[in-house]
Structure 1
Amino acid sequence: MRANCTQLQRASSVLQAARRGRRATESQPLLPPLHLYRRILREHKNLPVLQRELGDNYVKNEFKLHKGIDNPLHIVGFLASWQDYLHLISKGDWLEGTLTSEVLEKLSPEQVVQLYELMKETQQVRDGKVADDDNN
């Protein structure tokens, strides 16, 4: 993500204005991408081994895929979503986390496919049926 501090501060203030009706912990300024990335990986150390491995790989891949984004709205959305995720795993709420129908309806078709693939992968990990794709 090619965002300087000024862009992040401006985007953060826009995000805060949009979140005024939400809880105070959710309206904190956005963390810079690298700090957010590192904090998420640090929090993953508190997860069980399988969840940590899956989460680390997913976070690394997502941040790598979004590294070259220049659109401020996409940057804000991306960082806000990952910051919400950070708060979720920091408090341990990830165990009871569910996806509301409202959130599901807002997802693009590509995001729905990605979510489905993630669900299949986590089920395979849970069931111990992980296939090593590197050997195929």
Structure 2
Amino acid sequence: MAGPAHVSRVRFLYKRLLVLHRFLPIDLRALGDQYVKDEFRRHKSASPENVTSFMIEWESYRETLQTQVLQAAGGQLSSVKFGSPLQEDKLGNFQSDQIGQLYELMLESTKSSRQFDIQEDGK
């Protein structure tokens, strides 16, 4: 069983990611929020070695997103591209179901007509 320090660290990361998603375009926020919730739920009972790589990758995502959000807040919004390319060496570590999940995520994020029909408040 995970200790209280680990649980606290996971909970902090989870909440921080959802806060950072508030700064994404509305359709990306909806997609990102659902993805984070699903992934964290899916890994509740993961093995210690999987938890270690899971936390490393999500911390890396948090750092990247936080940097991009700060750039956007600094007035460079039009030049900010959220996300980063997936490195080929990391792709080799994925299992077949993860490759399928990544493909589905790519399809959803590049659709011209998104699954989420969300409008910001007041629009």
After TM superposition, the score normalised by the length of structure 1 is: 0.68
Q: CA deviation at 1:129?
A: 4.5
1:66 corresponds to 2:52: no
Alpha-carbon separation, structure 1, partners of 2:116 and 2:21: 23
Summarize the alignment of residues 4-43 of structure 1 with structure 2, pairs less than 5 Å apart. 4-5=3-4, 8=6, 32-43=9-20
Q: One-letter code of the match for 1:80? A: I
After superposition, the Cα gap between the structure-2 partners of 1:5 and 1:54, relative to the gap in structure 1 and judged at 3 Å, is same
Query: Considering only aligned residues, what root-mean-square deviation do their CA atoms show, in Å?
Result: 2.2
Alpha-carbon separation, structure 2, partners of 1:119 and 1:101: 15
* Structure 1: stretches of 5+ with no match in the other structure: 9-30
What per-residue deviation string (whole Å, max 9, x for no partner) do you get for residues 70-118 of structure 1? x211111111111111001000176361112211122111111110011
Alpha-carbon separation, structure 1, partners of 2:17 and 2:36: 8
Alpha-carbon separation, structure 2, partners of 1:102 and 1:76: 18
Partner of 2:98: 111
Provide the aligned length of Structure 1 versus Structure 2.
105
Match of 2:52 among 76, 80, 92: 76
Give structure 1 regions of 4+ aligned residues with deviation exceeding 3 angstroms: none
Partner of 1:28: none
1:86 alignment partner, SS class: helix
What per-residue deviation string (whole Å, max 9, x for no partner) do you get for residues 13-61 of structure 1? xxxxxxxxxxxxxxxxxx7111110000011111111111110010011
Alpha-carbon separation, structure 1, partners of 2:116 and 2:24: 22
Alpha-carbon separation, structure 1, partners of 2:103 and 2:17: 22
After superposition, the Cα gap between the structure-2 partners of 1:75 and 1:94, relative to the gap in structure 1 and judged at 3 Å, is farther
Partner of 1:123: 110
Alpha-carbon separation, structure 1, partners of 2:113 and 2:14: 28
Alpha-carbon separation, structure 2, partners of 1:116 and 1:53: 18
After TM superposition, the score normalised by the length of structure 2 is: 0.75
